[in-house]
Structure 1
């Protein structure tokens, strides 16, 4: 098999993309380093050179997604909590494979021995804290996260569901209907 040499940054990007797709399809426990290596046209030792271990591979995928999402959210510069969440839901509606990846990994990581257990716990705490700052209410922030996560799971199960419309209907119940002049 012919293996092409790519610059390290490009190879790492390729590894993250292939791994993202495979985890979304199979979950972390169904991921094999050989499948990732084959998908990238490298050997397993070559793959390990870039990521260190299977756990390192998973964390590279998660860090990459969080960084990309944070840059996008900051670029959108929405106002309050409702507007921020609406922007996130619109973004997620356009990337079902990423939403599926995070849903699968978050569910798997509920077991304490999962390599992303601490990552997802800290991510959830950061999200609730950030939302609490935006709305001034930790209980509301947790309810918003639950609504977003629950709607995304339903949308993944039933793709004909309009995620954005469902979010807006739920947001109207949590925040009250939008008044003219806003969003």
Structure 2
């Protein structure tokens, strides 16, 4: 007689959220290449075929994690901010409260520089979307919204890496506010239309 291990049944949305949370933690610890489907399945109380039923593949799992993070960030920032400086400050405050997610993105962003990484295209498109979004927010405030958008993204990314390396010494929010004084000091008030 074979004993069958009972697994708790969760509604599909709740199970998907659990899978994303476990995967996020594991990728932040090990990177995508160090992630095993077995470890994710074990962390969720599933078999690998059960996990695949929900996500389709390891690449599908990665993209689900990335999409979930982007959706959550967008909702959070839209509620908190209206000016370019407020949008950036809201993003930094949000990231300061979720170092595991920021670490996940930093690791994946670096890994995805390799053209054969499953998230290579995702991060290239995400970078362009981020720059386009910042540039759009800055139109009417500066003569070079595209150039300033690149500087803002670079400053945010750089500060986050330093903060992740030494969180006890670096206050991400305070460092951003100091940088924002320089970045936004010369912005013009928005123009009409």
TM-score bracket for this pair, using the shorter chain length = over 0.9
Post-superposition Cα deviations, 1:13-32, rounded to whole Å, max 9, x if no partner, equal 10000000000000000000
Whole-Å separation in 2 of the counterparts to 1:103 and 1:145:
13
Which residue is 1:115 aligned to? 118
Which residue is 1:153 aligned to? 161
Which residue is 1:84 aligned to? 87
Which residue is 1:181 aligned to? none
Shift of 1:10: 1.0
Shift of 1:146: 0.1
Please report the TM-score for the alignment, with normalisation by the length of structure 2: 0.89
Q: CA RMSD in A?
A: 1.3
Shift of 1:177: 8.4
Shift of 1:79: 2.3
Residue 53 in structure 1 maps to residue 67 in structure 2: no
Which residue is 2:106 aligned to? 103
Gaps of at least 5 residues in structure 2 are 140-144, 188-193
Q: Which residues of 2 match residues 1-183 of structure 1 at below 5 A?
A: 1-76=5-80, 78-136=81-139, 137-160=145-168, 161-176=170-185
Whole-Å separation in 1 of the counterparts to 2:12 and 2:174:
42
Post-superposition Cα deviations, 1:124-166, rounded to whole Å, max 9, x if no partner, equal 0011001001112100000000000000000000102100110
Please report the TM-score for the alignment, with normalisation by the length of structure 1: 0.94
Higher alpha-carbon Rg: 2
Post-superposition Cα deviations, 1:44-100, rounded to whole Å, max 9, x if no partner, equal 000000000000000010111111111111111x12211110111011111101100
Displacement over 3 Å in runs of 4+? none
Whole-Å separation in 2 of the counterparts to 1:159 and 1:177:
30
